Amino acid sequence: MEELELPHATVSCVECVSAALLFEQVLLSFFGCDAASLLPRSPSLSDFVRIYRQQSSQFPAEQTRYIIMEKTELLRDADANLLPALLRLQELVEDNVTVILLSEIVWETFRPNTGCFEPLLLHFPDYSKDELKQVLSKNKHPSYSAEFYSSYINILLGVFYSVCRDLRELRHLAALNFLKFCEPVEEGKAKVGDTHKLWKNIEPHLKKAMRTVYLREVSSLQWEQIQQMEEQETGAVRGLSAHTHVELPYYSKFLLIAAYLASYNPARTDKRFFVKHHGKIRKTNFLKKNEKTSNHLLGPKPFPLDRLLAIFYSVVDSRVAPTASIFSQISSLVTLQLLVQISHDDQLDAPKYKCAVTLDFISAISRTVNFDIVKYLYDFL
């Protein structure tokens, strides 16, 4: 658009939280400030079309005007009329106007249920491996030759291509890891042409990068710092998700453990685990049930408050009175999003909960209170 100097308005649907902002931007870029200020306080589509018509009759276009909408998938959540109206904008404003919608989502999910004016669909195909190589090799480092850089890109794609085809992501990774790649050359350990040596050096490093930077566990800045500090092993720094340890009060820990057990164990096994003199359970029956899909696959089950408390009392050794603080700890676990309350309809009377923590987290917690949780889990029997 810039190259051909066509009159166009680029609108990002993320920015335009209301239709009014969209109208204003379009008018602004086509006709200047005067037109945009004509819009009333909360303009409707009707106002927009009226002003557009007025302006376009004053300044008739010699060329087609273009409205480019980015991230159009958000338009579906906007006013139901907006998308059909934009699609037939040319008819409505009687001007030579083209609306271009850019989106990642297929058109079938856009179509309103009463139908609309069908747009011309174009598909922008993804880059193939060779194309990616070409594009990435373009921004080479000034102090090294083009072949050297493209061999680096080759290695990078070899590691990352099967996981990620996002050009932006790959470019970012390429920029981050290039210095490490050059290191042996600078130190004189390897020559520029010595591809195999270089590959040996960089490959474990890239694998590590996939685990850390790609997932944003370690920020790019941290990554660069790590690379500069040679003695420190890469990845030794704990990433974002490694900080799973949370300090909790003693009873809260047990509450959480009880909640985990209630979520992942079926209710009929409670008797077996937590009552001292339970009757004998026939082993065959038990094992047969065990072969069914494990609970850790299906996710946590909801449980009532009573069951949580019953398990809690049997898990905690000492006698605990059901004081107000116990109940307030339960609700504070909910606000910390370690527990999730379902069925909002009855707040006081028998609410149901779900446990929303992982197995690693809960076993770390139970270790701090000397409780062996795996022994009590139905799945691991």
Q: Is 106 in the site for other proteins (CB under 8 A)?
A: yes
Cβ proximity to other proteins: between 131 and 372 the closer is: 131
User: How is residue 69 annotated by DSSP?
Assistant: E
Taking CB under 8 A as the criterion, the residue among 4, 14, 41, 114 binding other proteins is 114
In angstroms, give the least distance from the CB of 91 to other proteins. 7
Cβ proximity to other proteins: between 60 and 279 the closer is: 60
How many Cα atoms sit within 13 Å of 303 on the Cβ side?
27
Q: Is 163 in the site for other proteins (CB under 8 A)?
A: yes
Site for other proteins in 198-237 (CB under 8 A): 210-211, 214-215, 217
Provide the 10 A C-beta neighbour count for residue 98. Answer: 14
298: three-class secondary structure by DSSP: helix
Determine contact, residues 106/144, Cβ cutoff 8 Å.
Answer: no
Q: Is 46 in the site for other proteins (CB under 8 A)?
A: yes
Determine contact, residues 104/72, Cβ cutoff 8 Å.
Answer: no
Q: Is 380 in the site for other proteins (CB under 8 A)?
A: no
Which positions ≥6 away from 30 have C-beta within 8 Å? 7, 9, 52, 55, 65
How many residues make contact with other proteins (CB under 8 A)? 53
How many whole angstroms separate alpha carbon 309 and alpha carbon 259? 9
Q: Is 374 in the site for other proteins (CB under 8 A)?
A: no
Site for other proteins in 313-352 (CB under 8 A): 340, 342
Q: Is 92 in the site for other proteins (CB under 8 A)?
A: yes
Which positions ≥6 away from 303 have C-beta within 8 Å? 259, 262, 263, 267, 352, 353, 354
Taking CB under 8 A as the criterion, the residue among 10, 12, 29, 44 binding other proteins is 44
Taking CB under 8 A as the criterion, the residue among 125, 142, 188, 279 binding other proteins is 125
Segment lying near other proteins (by CB under 8 A), choices 43-51, 144-152, 278-286, 368-376: 43-51
Q: Is 91 in the site for other proteins (CB under 8 A)?
A: yes
How many whole angstroms separate alpha carbon 86 and alpha carbon 67? 10
Q: Is 185 in the site for other proteins (CB under 8 A)?
A: no
User: H/E element holding 70?
Assistant: strand 65-70
Q: Is 243 in the site for other proteins (CB under 8 A)?
A: no
Taking CB under 8 A as the criterion, the residue among 117, 250, 327, 380 binding other proteins is 117
Nearest one of 111, 196, 193, 114 to 155, comparing CA atoms: 196
- What HEC string does 312-368 produce? HHHHCCCCCCCCHHHHHHHHHHHHCCCEEEECCCCCCCCCEEEECCCHHHHHHHHHH
In angstroms, give the least distance from the CB of 143 to other proteins. 32
304: three-class secondary structure by DSSP: strand
Contact positions vs other proteins (CB under 8 A): 44-46, 49-50, 73, 79, 81, 84-85, 88, 90-92, 104-109, 114-118, 120-121, 123, 125-126, 128-129, 161-165, 210-211, 214-215, 217, 241, 296-300, 340, 342, 354, 356, 358
